[in-house]
């Protein structure tokens, strides 16, 4: 079984990969390295090329140009049967006329193993996926979640060096999905198998991946850990695709400054020339609420960046269980409303309600500037 390689050598390298379907370019010059033992998610909207890239790694579709290297070996032109991977698809793809045991044993039977050895391995796998009693049943007698666990057992039966998961959870209902997320991640950690999963579900990618590859229209937009992708998006597409993000028309000032309406504010450092139209962006949970007395320290936190603090009116409040989503209007912002997620404690402490005026602060290290052209492309 593959173990995490402490040297961090790439196990899978994708080099300048292109895929054309007729004149349509589904993948455009993709290069990516995946470290041994890593769990990587390909995330992006429908049609961005995630599945095409996964299928190229598996050899199910051949690339038009470029190379795929697995464990140092060029596998670019090998058929799937000569590559070392296990795969799980969205549809459970179990053989309906075979028992669960036989389904799992299927891939083991052509490997020269003896019957008792196969039976022992099947039992071990059934234990591993938490279904030790189900071996004699047929797929139709199992729930969707159970079938997908069997598909996973079958995929890892021969100890492949690479596990490929193509939207394995998207056919399941929400509760099972969340549970299985956790189980798959735990199993992957235990086995240390290098894993690539395709998903369009950002929560799934954020909660499962060591690194996320965000794709858009056949190219990679950003590669990073879930926190990097969420906290430090490098493009407006990534900022917009993952989580909620306020996007406000603004103009660049000198580096580290931006102008929103009449308001000059301090932002993260940026490279836009002064006067360039930009999009200022901040996540709703990064907006800091302050009380009426915020300018005089005492009951509420002190404002740390005076330039970025201003008065707003609470226009609408929506209770979302663990927090309040508030729409805030400010004269300085013109028609733009700002969405802010405030904790239940903050709302109680500041006695917030619709129509109430309050001070907020957009912390400079959370206020980002993006190319406005990207938004209109």
Which positions touch ligand ATP (CB under 6 A)?
Answer: 21, 24, 26, 44, 46-52, 200
Phi, psi (5° rounding) for residue 310? -160, 170
Cα angle, residue 333 at apex, residues 315 and 359 outer, rounded to 5°: 60
Nearer to ligand ATP, 60 or 178 (CB): 60
Calpha distance 73→58 (Å, rounded): 14
**Residue in this structure with the two tokens 């929506």, named with its chain if needed:** 318
Judged by CB, which is closer to ligand ATP: 24, or 116? 24
Indicate the residue among 63 and 267 with the shorter CB distance to ligand ATP. 63
Quick one: 139 or 168, whose CB is closer to ligand ATP?
Answer: 168
Q: Contact, 138 vs 99, CB < 8 A?
A: yes
Q: How far is the CB of 69 from ligand ATP (least distance, A)?
A: 21
Cβ proximity to ligand ATP: between 21 and 319 the closer is 21
Task: State the minimum distance, in angstroms, from the CB of residue 222 to ligand ATP.
Answer: 16
State in angstroms the smallest separation of the CB of 26 from ligand ATP. 4
Rounded to a whole number of angstroms, the minimum distance from the CB of residue 75 to ligand ATP is 19
Q: Which is nearer to ligand ATP, 44 or 224 (CB)?
A: 44
CA distance 335 to 245: 17
CA distances from 350 to 14, 302, 364 (A): 53, 14, 23
Q: For strands 288-290 and 309-319, give the pairing.
A: unpaired
3-state class of 148 per DSSP?
Answer: helix
Tokens of 207: 């909660």
Dihedral sign, CA of 162, 167, 171, 176? positive
Rounded least distance, CB 167 to ligand ATP, Å: 7
**C-beta of 244: minimal distance to ligand ATP in Å?**
21
Q: What's phi and psi for 93, nearest 5 deg?
A: 55, 35
Task: Report the C-alpha gap between 48 and 213 in whole angstroms.
Answer: 12
Three-state DSSP class for residue 22: coil
At residue 273's C-alpha, the angle toward residues 271 and 279, to 5°, is 75
Residue with Cβ nearer ligand ATP (47 or 161) = 47
- Closest to ligand ATP by CB, 217 or 330: 217
Phi, psi of 82 (to 5 degrees): -100, 10
Q: Shortest approach of ligand ATP to residue 22 CB, angstroms?
A: 7
For the chain, what's the residue count? 377
- The closest alpha carbon to 167, from 142, 190, 201, 141, belongs to 201
User: In angstroms, what is the minimal distance from the CB of 44 to ligand ATP?
Assistant: 6
Shortest spacing between CB 217 and ligand ATP, in angstroms: 9
Q: Which is nearer to ligand ATP, 201 or 228 (CB)?
A: 201
Question: DSSP 3-state assignment of 112?
Answer: coil
Q: State which residue, 167 or 337, has the beta carbon closest to ligand ATP.
A: 167
Strand partners, 289: 360
Report yes or no: 11 and 161 within 8 Å, Cβ to Cβ: yes
Contacts of 71 (CB under 8 A, 6+ apart): 11, 84, 161
Shortest distance, position 197 Cβ to ligand ATP, whole Å: 12
């Amino acid at each position: 079984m593959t173990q995490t390689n402490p040297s961090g050598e790439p196990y899978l390298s994708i080099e300048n990969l292109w895929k054309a379907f007729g004149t349509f370019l589904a993948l455009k010059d993709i290069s990516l390295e995946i470290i041994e033992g890593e769990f990587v998610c390909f995330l992006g909207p429908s049609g961005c090329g995630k599945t095409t890239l996964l299928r190229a790694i598996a050899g199910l579709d051949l690339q038009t140009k470029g190379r795929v290297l697995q464990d140092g070996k060029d596998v670019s032109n090998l058929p799937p049967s000569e590559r070392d991977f296990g795969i799980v698809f969205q549809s459970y793809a179990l053989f309906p006329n075979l028992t669960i045991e036989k389904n799992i044993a299927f891939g083991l039977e052509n490997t020269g193993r003896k019957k008792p050895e196969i039976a022992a391995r099947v039992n071990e796998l059934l234990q591993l996926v938490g279904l030790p009693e189900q071996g004699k049943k047929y797929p139709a007698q199992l729930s969707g979640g159970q079938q997908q666990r069997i598909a996973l057992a079958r995929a890892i039966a021969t100890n492949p060096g690479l596990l490929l998961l193509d939207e394995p959870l998207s056919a399941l209902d929400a509760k099972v999905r969340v549970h299985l997320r956790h189980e798959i991640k735990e199993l992957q950690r235990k086995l240390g198998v290098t894993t690539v999963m395709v998903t369009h579900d950002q929560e799934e990618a954020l909660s499962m991946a060591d690194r996320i590859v965000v794709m858009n229209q056949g190219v990679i937009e950003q590669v990073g850990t879930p926190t990097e992708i969420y906290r430090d998006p490098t493009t407006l597409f990534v900022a917009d695709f993952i989580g909620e993000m306020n996007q406000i028309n603004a103009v660049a000032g000198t580096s580290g400054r931006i102008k929103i309406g009449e308001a000059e504010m301090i932002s993260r450092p940026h490279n836009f020339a002064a006067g360039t139209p930009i999009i200022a962006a901040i996540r709703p949970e990064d907006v800091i609420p302050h009380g009426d007395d915020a300018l005089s320290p005492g009951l509420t936190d002190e404002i740390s960046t005076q330039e970025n603090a201003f008065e707003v009116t609470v226009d609408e409040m929506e209770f979302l269980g663990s927090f309040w989503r508030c729409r805030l209007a400010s004269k300085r912002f013109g028609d733009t409303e700002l969405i802010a997620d405030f904790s239940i404690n903050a709302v109680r402490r500041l006695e917030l309600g619709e129509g109430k005026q309050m001070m907020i602060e957009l912390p400079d290290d959370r206020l980002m500037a993006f190319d406005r052209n990207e938004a209109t492309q």
